[in-house]
Chains A and B, each alone.
Chain A
Amino acid sequence: MTVLKVKDCGAGTSIQDGGRFGYRRYGVGSAGAVDRIALAVANMLVGNDQGTGAIEFTVMGGSFVVEGGPVRIALAGAVADLRIDGEAVRPLTSATAEPGQTITVGPAKAGTFMVLAVSGGFDLPRDLGSQSFHLRAGLGGVGREPVKAGQVLVVNGAPMGPDLTATVPPRVHAGPFRVVLGPQDDYFTAAGIETLVGQPYVISPQADRMGYRLTGATIEHAKGFNIVSDGIPTGAIQVPGSGEPIVLLADAGTTGGYPKIATMISADLPRFVQNRPGSEVRFEIVSQAAAIVAAREQAAMLAAVLGGLKAIGPAFDPEALLAANLVDGWVDAHGRFDLATGNT
């Protein structure tokens, strides 16, 4: 049995997967990794499904001792070092840590959230279908706790085949963060909506997995700031009485009574959450149809990253893999992606 013994880690370290769905009607939100691209990429580098449970770190990293057997690991998300016994693992590359070795992650040099995936994922129970830790609900994680020093995390699988590197790096959209107006844009004046997209906002220190409170120009309400509570989507931009927006994230409540002027598109959430307090952000409005197109482009981008994975390591013949790639269509996958997005 392969285990990771947690030597130390930052306070904002927890197990997160692709999210918990099907229980919103009971007040249970999705949780899950806030940077879904990081979760997907870290997982694919170790041969897992993209939504497999992994360790999410918030700025501060952590260190782990491997025992029992080897484990393949990969890090994605914020810019941070991944080391095995002090030796750096190249970015966008998986590596195998042997029993007795120490894995160290971070801290983040830029960005906020890092995801460490292990081959096979962790042998942890699912609460309501998911391993994602949710603090206020007391669900998921390691015995419904965050990842903490002294815990022993059992790894499901041993490494199979060679380590991998991504020849096609993941990409994100640049420019202002795209939002779709609604569900309560009619609770704001035209000037209020203009403020949201015309003015810069700064991420305040009140930023966590529940949401990022922004400071900046006050957004004008048209008819008060109370609504009869309704559903809250991940990425909702809620404007309470103060007039300063809050972007609600994976751990937000499922319903709320403040009007939501707009919703950030899912494709831009991974880049948004990587901003630290003090960062300036801007918004632009797109249609719901354009947002759906962006979500599909992002899925195609991830498919291209997956298709561009290349094996590395002493046991591996790179020429043979290149030939195999051409035969089994991996190169085609990359080509389709370029056609679909029109740029790289």
Chain B
Amino acid sequence: MGLAVRPRFLACGDSAVTIEFGTEIDDGINALCLAFDEALSAAAFPGVVESLPTYRSVFVQVDPLVIDMPAFETRVMELLDGLTTDTKAARRWRIPVVYGGAFGIDLEDVAAAHGITANEVIRRHSERVYRVAMLGFLPGFCYLSGADQSIALPRRTDPRLKTPAGTVSIGGVQALFASVEAPSGWHLLGRTPVRNFMPDRDPVFLVGAGEEVVFQPIDASRWDALDAAAAAGEPVAELVAP
């Protein structure tokens, strides 16, 4: 069964094109992006170097010396016509998180902004199943869909230049868990010892796009042991049955 979605081809110079399926965060659109990305990878079209599925589009890096752009666009439409809804079960990861305090310096502010307790913010954040909509910005950063809009807050007007590796945060309608130290304008709720990116570990990346994530609140007293295990290459994140 074909899908009735007609994407927009957005030029990105001569070496990339964005195939846009929508402009907003939408689970159906994201699922389509992930399924299309998989079909595109399998098609191995000449001149396609790599692709990156996002919330709402698929970014395709091309070799301008090889690509035949009109033929590529035709092939994309053929792939979409043959695309079926992905029904296979996603892997689900349980990610331990220490919320609040030095681990999540914005937790109290987020609670105050919504007139609820910090524990209530933790409950609402950790009781959901998120899907990893995309990885982006820096290695291993997981952008999540499925965030609870009742604790959403616009991004900070004054971004921080440095937030620690493992930061678990929310920004606008999005949720994130980070892998390396980075600047951020999001609100820091907690921190996980999980390293989603370790160049010397096999696998280098743990959680990929299309997989599911649940956050498990843990006591700060467990941080040191889990962090040491993660530093030694243990996943610390746990695969759980969906």
Contacts and interface: CB of A to CB of B under 8 A. Distances in A.
A254 B209 CA distance: 14
A289 interface: yes
B11 A27 contact: no
B137 A253 contact: yes
A254 B134 CA distance: 11
Interface string A249-284: 000011110001001111100000000000000000
Contacts of A193: none
B217 interface: no
A190 interface: no
A266 B15 contact: yes
Interface size class of A (residues with CB under 8 A): 35 or more
A18 to B, nearest CB: 12
A341 to B, nearest CB: 15
B170 to A, nearest CB: 14
Interface residues of B, number: 48
A230 B199 contact: no
Contact of B59 (A136, A179, A230, A291): A230
A136 B181 CA distance: 8
Given A138-B199, A295-B15, A253 B10 contact: no
Interface string A131-147: 00000111100001000
Contacts of B55: 228-230
A233 interface: yes
A231 B55 CA distance: 10
Given A139-B199, A231-B52, A289-B69, A28 B139 contact: yes
Interface stretch (A79-87, A99-107, A181-189, A312-320): A181-189
A30 B67 CA distance: 19
Contacts of B220: none
B11 A263 contact: yes
A230 B135 contact: no
A1 to B, nearest CB: 25
B169 interface: no
A127 interface: yes
A167 interface: no
A291 B65 CA distance: 11
Contacts of B182: 136
A296 B205 CA distance: 35
B64 A230 contact: no
B136 A229 contact: yes
A24 interface: yes
B235 interface: no
17 contacts: A21-B49, A22-B49, A24-B52, A24-B59, A25-B135, A26-B135, A27-B135, A27-B140, A181-B11, A183-B10, A228-B25, A229-B136, A230-B18, A253-B136, A254-B52, A256-B136, A265-B14
Interchain residue pairs A-B with the least CB separation, the first 3? A231-B59, A255-B136, A263-B13
Given A27-B139, A180-B13, A295-B15, 6 more contacts: A25-B208, A182-B18, A229-B54, A231-B18, A253-B137, A288-B13
